[in-house]
């Protein structure tokens, strides 16, 4: 028995199931030993093979529609496509956005993930009046198509920073995670997207270095839990569900991802796996725990307390014994992009003092050092969230709130820190996040009541620009995204060297951190691939 | 559905992304894109019919009906790296070079592409010819090749269909040489692309007369046809 006329290029899933289409308009599934599992008729004008979507769906264009077919062979949904003829397999990104190209020159993005209301077509461009190839996608998520006139087209977002933050800007009194786009303190309101819509408060967004997932905290049922989702807020998953390592009433906050090699998608040394670090009160104290993202959610083996996690990294016993002193609470881990440093806040309720600590794999081995002076800590405050450290993209600097100022420390030297503070002395900077190119720091600034996002840049990061004036926007987290072009030299910030000429020990040149970008590149492009260090 | 964390592999190694033709990228695409202005588009001679293959550094490898293989940088500049003198109507396939250190992009070890002159060619990242084979000289190869290199590196096997209906498996004995390993004849011109199982153990090929043939990748022995 054969299939219908002209079978197209098949796709093979991980379990060996083969999906094939034919020009009779059918999609067939065949198991690994050749047994037909099912066939489904999708319509006429079926000219291309399938693509494998998220969640096991198969995506096929037929009759001017895009079909999503489940693993059981039922059509889950179909979406009308713009008028064109589709003869190539679609491409699918990690968010589930399907890119179809037409013989009439159209390129269309269709959201295939669950939970979409209304049209699934989210964008369309027409690079050419001619016949297009299928789409290819590079390691930055840029789309390329060729055409029948020999032109190779690039399709991409306009360069800008992408910033996740918590805000109630569209529903007062209910924090949600928003995605904002900005260039050096100039917000693009049309590109501000509400990522989460739950009636509970969603806050403290964090982004993974590879842009594939975001994390945030939400109080959905009985406790604060850490969620992980795609950057569009779809495929949301609770990483700290009750059962296993966490009880129904345990609170988890302050997620942070261990760094990933943004070229290879693998954990950076010395991390063995990709983790999301959260602060959990499950043990009776708020302590850092590490959730292994490669393990099944809810599995007790997926969760490691700080000390055994650090032991697996090779931290010597003399330092391990100092990581979790009795009765000391911890909150918020910050990981350096180079993978070799982790900073966190520790607070001792008995002495009402807090301290930022740095665990650092230096060239001479592991070190455990305090960052800056200790600070008053109010044990009555159940969430001491005001002193979160963050690293610069070159992993050399730590920015952390210190009183009314933001203090910027050089972790490689004992130099005094640089202090910067918002223009109104009563304002306090919270939750710094350093931009991927190192030129600006996003912070929440409290002006009496609610907080709003500000961008600190320029010499010593002393120039503050208000980014949101909508009230209660805080906890910024940069996504690497497509970075904007550098500013002209007349206004170029020198914030990446945050003080008077900083010189590195043994180096003759002024310290700078620069992204390595091909000199012929007309704009900055994609996430930082590598950083030169002094 | 859990969010799975896996390594990236080559961003777009061949037609339909990978040997199992998932067409699925490892990273998010643009959210609200536009067609980039000058220096884009890059203008090549002839028609582009096969989607570009893309390496870690963002270089695009694309063939044209004018018989040229281009390498185009993400900056929009490009060059002809190999002139085949016969139309290239399909996508090239890439394999990465040997592993490098953390944070360093693996380069392209080899680029495989078929031409209308019947030659399957292998060139290095700069277009220097490493080897060329023709299963049937003059009979066009209009099926995009699938190139498979097992875990841990090793030698590459390339699978490609021919307009005379035969599917060919070519295995490298060294980076500079390769030999035909087996062939399998079908009844209609093969212009679809061979697709492998994820483990590289079986080859799937669909034909214009409506059949799906599944073969052992190592021996070419038919596992089933329907």
Give the CATH number of the domain where residue A277 resides. Answer: 2.120.10.30
Mutation site, A68, A112, A146, A156, interface B, largest B CB count within 10 A: A146
- DSSP reduced 3-state for A318: helix
Same domain, A272 and A194: yes
- DSSP reduced 3-state for A461: helix
Question: What pLDDT does A386 receive?
Answer: 61
Give chain A's domain count.
2
Which of B27, B35, B106 faces A211 most closely, judged by CB atoms? Answer: B27
Question: In this structure, is residue A518 part of a structural domain?
Answer: no
Same domain, A86 and A199: no
Q: Hey, is the C-beta of B79 within 8 angstroms of any chain A C-beta?
A: no
Average pLDDT, chain B: 92
> Rounded to an integer, what distance in angstroms lies between the CA atom of residue A117 and that of residue A297?
28
Q: Is A363 exposed, middle or buried (0-12, 13-18, 19+ CB in 10 A)?
A: exposed
Question: In this structure, is residue A370 part of a structural domain?
Answer: yes
Contact yes or no for B54 and A137 at CB 8 A: yes
The helix (run of H) or strand (run of E) holding residue B48 is none
- Closest by CA to A43, choosing from A21, A66, A25, is A25
Q: Hey, is the C-beta of B37 within 8 angstroms of any chain A C-beta?
A: no
Average pLDDT, chain A: 85
Strand partners, A166: A177, A474
Question: How large is the ipTM?
Answer: 0.97
Contact yes or no for B11 and A139 at CB 8 A: yes
Same domain, A238 and A149: no
Q: Which of A155, A189, A215 is the last residue of a domain?
A: A155
- Closest by CA to A266, choosing from B48, B6, B155, B87, is B6
What is the DSSP code string of B5-35? Answer: ------TB-STTSSTT---B-SS---SS-EE
Question: In this structure, is residue A520 part of a structural domain?
Answer: no
Residues of A in contact with B45 (CB under 8 A): 150
Which of A4, A136, A232 faces B54 most closely, judged by CB atoms? Answer: A136
Mutation site, B38, B48, B142, interface A, largest A CB count within 10 A: B48
Same domain, A90 and A31: yes
Question: What pLDDT does A246 receive?
Answer: 94
Distance of CA A274 to the CA centre of its chain: 13
Question: What pLDDT does A378 receive?
Answer: 61
Q: How far is the alpha carbon of B155 from chain A, nearest alpha carbon, in Å?
A: 21
Question: In this structure, is residue A277 part of a structural domain?
Answer: yes
Same domain, A114 and A171: no
Give phi and psi for A459, each to the nearest 5. Answer: -55, 125
- Rounded to an integer, the average pLDDT of B136-145 is 95
Which of B27, B33, B51 faces A94 most closely, judged by CB atoms? Answer: B27
**Cβ neighbours, 10 Å, residue A123:** 19
Same domain, A405 and A354: yes
The helix (run of H) or strand (run of E) holding residue A317 is helix A317-323
B46-78 pLDDT per residue, tens: 999 999 999 988 899 999 999 999 999 998 999
Cis geometry, peptide bond prior to residue B39 (ω within 30 degrees of 0): yes
- Rounded to an integer, the average pLDDT of B153-172 is 93
Question: What pLDDT does A482 receive?
Answer: 64
A458-483 pLDDT per residue, tens: 888 999 999 998 778 999 999 866 66
Q: Does residue A240 contact residue A250 with C-beta atoms inside 8 Å?
A: yes
Share of chain A above pLDDT 90, in %: 56
Question: What pLDDT does A297 receive?
Answer: 86
> Rounded to an integer, what distance in angstroms lies between the CA atom of residue A204 and that of residue A166?
6
Same domain, A277 and A330: yes
- Rounded to an integer, the average pLDDT of A405-425 is 87
Question: What pLDDT does A516 receive?
Answer: 32
Q: Does residue A323 contact residue A359 with C-beta atoms inside 8 Å?
A: yes
Strand partners, B112: B93, B122
Same domain, A278 and A332: yes
- Rounded to an integer, the average pLDDT of A418-433 is 86
A275-296 pLDDT per residue, tens: 999 999 999 999 999 999 888 8
Contact yes or no for B17 and A55 at CB 8 A: no
The pair of three-digit structure tokens given for residue A81, joined into one six-digit string? 């496509």
Question: In this structure, is residue A87 part of a structural domain?
Answer: yes
Question: In this structure, is residue A510 part of a structural domain?
Answer: no
Q: E strands of A208-316, at which residues? A: 214-219, 224-229, 237-238, 252-257, 275-280, 287-292, 303-305
Residues contacting residue A383 through CB under 8 Å, at least 6 positions apart: A253, A331
Q: Does residue A262 contact residue A274 with C-beta atoms inside 8 Å?
A: no
Domain B53-225 has CATH 3.30.565.10: no
> Rounded to an integer, what distance in angstroms lies between the CA atom of residue A409 and that of residue A398?
5
Q: Does residue B107 contact residue B55 with C-beta atoms inside 8 Å?
A: yes
Which of A10, A122, A136 faces B204 most closely, judged by CB atoms? Answer: A10
Kindly state the DSSP code that residue A471 receives in the 8-state scheme.
S
Q: Which of A155, A190, A207 is the last residue of a domain?
A: A155
Prediction pTM value: 0.87
Question: In this structure, is residue A207 part of a structural domain?
Answer: yes
Same domain, A125 and A180: no
- Assign 3-state DSSP to chain B and report helix, strand, coil percentages, each to 5: 0, 40, 60
Strand partners, A329: A347
- Rounded to an integer, the average pLDDT of B111-124 is 97
Q: Hey, is the C-beta of A152 within 8 angstroms of any chain B C-beta?
A: yes
- DSSP reduced 3-state for B189: coil
A182-235 pLDDT per residue, tens: 988 899 888 888 999 999 999 999 998 777 889 999 998 889 999 999 888 888
Task: State the count of interchain CB pairs (< 8 A) between A and B.
Answer: 326
Residues of A in contact with B29 (CB under 8 A): 93, 95, 97, 99, 109, 137, 141-143
Same domain, A139 and A228: no
Which of A16, A95, A144 faces B60 most closely, judged by CB atoms? Answer: A144
Q: How far is the alpha carbon of A325 from chain B, nearest alpha carbon, in Å?
A: 33
Q: How far is the alpha carbon of B200 from chain A, nearest alpha carbon, in Å?
A: 11
Strand partners, B180: B170
Q: Is the pLDDT of residue A90 over 70?
A: yes
What's A113's domain CATH number?
2.40.128.630
Same domain, A63 and A208: no
Burial A504-521 (b: 16+ CB within 10 A, else e): beeeeeebebebebeeeb
Q: Which residue of A has its CA nearest to B49?
A: A133
Q: Is the pLDDT of residue B95 over 90?
A: yes
Q: How many alpha carbons fall within 13 Å on the CB side of residue A397?
A: 34
**Cβ neighbours, 10 Å, residue A154:** 24
A477-519 pLDDT per residue, tens: 998 666 665 554 333 334 443 332 222 222 223 333 333 333 3
Which of B30, B105, B209 faces A156 most closely, judged by CB atoms? Answer: B30
Question: What pLDDT does B4 receive?
Answer: 60
Domain assignment of residue A45, given as a range: 11-155
Question: In this structure, is residue A269 part of a structural domain?
Answer: yes
């Amino acid at each position: 028995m054969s299939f219908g006329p002209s079978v197209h290029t098949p796709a093979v899933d991980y379990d060996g199931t083969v999906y094939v289409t034919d020009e009779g308009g059918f999609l067939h599934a065949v198991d690994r030993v050749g047994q037909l599992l099912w066939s489904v008729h999708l319509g006429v004008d079926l000219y291309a093979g399938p693509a494998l979507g998220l969640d096991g769906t198969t995506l096929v264009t037929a009759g001017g529609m895009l079909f999503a077919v489940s693993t059981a062979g039922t059509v889950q949904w179909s979406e009308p496509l713009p008028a064109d003829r589709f003869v190539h397999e679609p491409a699918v990104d990690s968010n589930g956005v399907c890119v179809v190209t037409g013989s009439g020159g159209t390129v269309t993005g269709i959201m295939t993930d669950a939970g979409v209301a209304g049209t699934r077509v989210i964008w369309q461009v027409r690079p050419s009046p001619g016949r297009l190839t299928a789409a290819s996608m590079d390691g930055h998520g840029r789309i390329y198509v060729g055409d029948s006139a020999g032109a190779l087209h690039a399709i991409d977002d306009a360069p800008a920073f992408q910033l996740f933050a918590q805000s109630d800007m569209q529903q007062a009194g209910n924090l949600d995670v928003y995605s904002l786009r900005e260039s050096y303190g100039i917000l693009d309101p049309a590109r501000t997207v509400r990522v989460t819509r739950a009636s509970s408060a969603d806050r403290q967004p964090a982004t993974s270095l590879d842009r594939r997932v975001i994390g945030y905290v939400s109080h959905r049922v009985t406790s604060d839990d850490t969620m992980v989702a795609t950057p569009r807020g779809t495929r949301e998953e609770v990483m700290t569900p009750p059962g296993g390592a966490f009880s129904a009433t345990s609170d988890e906050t302050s997620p942070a991802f261990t760094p990933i090699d943004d070229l290879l998608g693998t954990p950076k040394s010395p991390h063995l796996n990709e983790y999301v670090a959260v602060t959990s009160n499950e043990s009776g104290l708020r302590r850092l725990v590490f959730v292994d993202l490669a393990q099944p959610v809810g599995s007790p083996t997926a969760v490691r307390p700080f000390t055994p996690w650090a032991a697996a990294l090779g931290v010597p016993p003399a330092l391990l014994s100092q990581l979790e002193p009795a009765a000391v609470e911890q909150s918020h881990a910050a990981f350096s992009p180079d993978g070799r440093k982790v900073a966190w806040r520790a607070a001792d309720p008995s002495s009402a003092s807090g301290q930022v600590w740095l665990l650092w794999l230096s060239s001479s081995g592991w070190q455990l050092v305090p960052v800056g002076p200790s600070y008053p800590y109010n044990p009555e405050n159940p969430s001491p969230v005001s002193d979160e450290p963050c690293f610069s993209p070159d992993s050399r600097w730590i920015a952390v709130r210190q009183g009314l100022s933001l203090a910027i420390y050089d972790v490689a030297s004992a130099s005094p820190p640089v202090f910067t503070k918002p223009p109104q002395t009563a304002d306090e900077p919270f939750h710094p996040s350093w931009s991927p190119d190192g030129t600006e720091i996003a912070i929440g600034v409290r002006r009496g009541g609610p907080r709003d996002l500000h961008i600190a840049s320029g010499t010593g990061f002393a120039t503050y620009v208000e980014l949101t004036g909508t009230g209660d926007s805080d906890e910024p987290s940069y996504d690497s995204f497509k970075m904007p072009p550098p500013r002209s030299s007349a206004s170029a910030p020198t914030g990446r060297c945050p003080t008077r000429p900083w010189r590195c020990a043994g180096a003759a040149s002024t310290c700078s951190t620069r992204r390595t970008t091909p000199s012929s590149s007309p704009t900055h492009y994609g996430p930082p691939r590598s950083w030169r260090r002094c | 559905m859990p969010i799975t964390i896996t390594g990236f592999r080559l961003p777009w190694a061949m037609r339909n992304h990978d040997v199992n033709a998932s067409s699925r990228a490892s990273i998010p695409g643009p959210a609200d894109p536009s067609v980039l202005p000058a220096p884009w588009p890059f203008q090549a001679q002839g028609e582009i019919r096969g989607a570009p293959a893309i390496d870690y550094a963002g270089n695009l490898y694309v063939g044209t009906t004018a018989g040229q293989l281009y390498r185009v940088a993400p900056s929009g500049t490009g060059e002809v790296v190999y002139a085949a003198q016969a139309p290239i109507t399909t996508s090239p396939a890439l394999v990465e070079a040997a592993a490098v250190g953390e944070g360093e992009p693996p380069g392209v070890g080899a680029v495989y592409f078929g031409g209308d002159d019947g030659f399957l060619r292998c060139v290095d990242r700069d277009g220097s010819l490493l080897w060329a084979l023709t299963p049937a000289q003059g009979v066009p190869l209009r099926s995009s090749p699938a190139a498979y290199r097992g875990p841990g590196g090793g030698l590459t096997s390339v699978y490609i269909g021919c307009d005379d209906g035969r599917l060919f498996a070519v295995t490298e004995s060294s980076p500079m040489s390769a030999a035909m390993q087996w062939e399998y004849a079908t009844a209609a011109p093969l212009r679809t692309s061979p697709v492998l199982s994820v483990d590289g153990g079986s080859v799937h090929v669909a034909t214009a007369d409506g059949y799906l043939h599944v073969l052992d990748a190592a021996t070419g022995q038919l596992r089933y046809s329907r």
